[in-house]
Structure 1
């Protein structure tokens, strides 16, 4: 699930960059970087990695406090990475927001497929158990 989500996010980012072909800002750049600007690959990757990690770890953390820490750390990291891209002058704020939305769409789709697959596996297992019993 984790590898599929990250790989799919990178592929989606490449497709969207080629579709929109938005040039990067040319003012206040602190680093030099090539390629198209929209959507931000770093913002998409951060949202995907921390979003999927949170999804996968959520059920293994029993306490409300632990889950709160998980979500808080994920949100802080996602925002920090997005803000750093604007600070470095390599993205417009809309690139970051677009990356978050694209990644949100992607991980929602991945989670829905994952949940569907898990439910299907669970139902097959139950059917086998009923057939044997």
Structure 2
């Protein structure tokens, strides 16, 4: 974390001002407001397409991931790092990173859902690659901003991606049995 700060002033991040501004924007992509809005839009699309089961499944998958994150934070009760100044305000526990985990859950779950509806491998790869990129940017921004240890973010990514994968496997299992998820 200190490697991402100026050696003469640990309160100042490395890089130009635009980099800090970009990191603030990237971290917002993992915030509750953005992830909730994106989830509502995705569920709304599925409802407009009359894909009731997929909409319900998406709500359950994302809500379950958020509840898992909250439970893990309480269970581990790890305090935020104090090695460097925080560049954003934070009010809860550190491990695992909620931004990293919830971004993985939302972006990867929606990415897989969209990719499943596509036939071409390039479009599928683009959708999944975009979901992974968004997830990585959010997590990296949390370390850059000084509000998470790298291990918090790695744990968030790991658990979030595992949850999204589990949800995908359940959806595939149901699909093979004739349920339209």
TM-score of the superposition, structure 2-length normalised? 0.63
More divergent stretch after superposition (60-69 vs 70-79)? 60-69
* Superposed counterparts of 1:31-42, under 5 Å: 31-42=88-99
Measured in 2, the distance between the counterparts of 1:49 and 1:107 equals 8
Shift of the 113–68 alpha-carbon distance from structure 1 to 2, 3 Å rule, reads closer
Are residue 3 (structure 1) and residue 59 (structure 2) matched?
yes
1:118 Cα deviation from its structure 2 partner = 2.5
Given the alignment, which residue of 121, 124, 131 partners 1:67?
Answer: 124
1:38 Cα deviation from its structure 2 partner = 0.2
Residue in structure 2 matched with residue 12 of structure 1 by the alignment: 68
Between structures 1 and 2, the one with greater helix share:
1
Shift of the 121–60 alpha-carbon distance from structure 1 to 2, 3 Å rule, reads closer
- What residue ranges of structure 2 are gaps of 5+ in the alignment? 1-56
Q: Over residues 68-115 of structure 1, what are the superposed CA-to-partner deviations in whole Å (9 max), with x where a residue is unaligned?
A: 221221121111100111111111110010001111221222222222
Residue in structure 1 matched with residue 51 of structure 2 by the alignment: none
Residue in structure 2 matched with residue 58 of structure 1 by the alignment: 115
Q: Which has the larger radius of gyration?
A: 1
Residue in structure 2 matched with residue 129 of structure 1 by the alignment: none
Work out which structure has the larger RCO, using CA pairs closer than 8 Å and 6 or more positions apart in sequence.
1
Residue in structure 2 matched with residue 103 of structure 1 by the alignment: 160
TM-score of the superposition, structure 1-length normalised? 0.83
- Structure 2 SS opposite 1:33: coil
More divergent stretch after superposition (95-104 vs 59-68)? 59-68
Measured in 1, the distance between the counterparts of 2:86 and 2:123 equals 39
Measured in 1, the distance between the counterparts of 2:111 and 2:91 equals 31
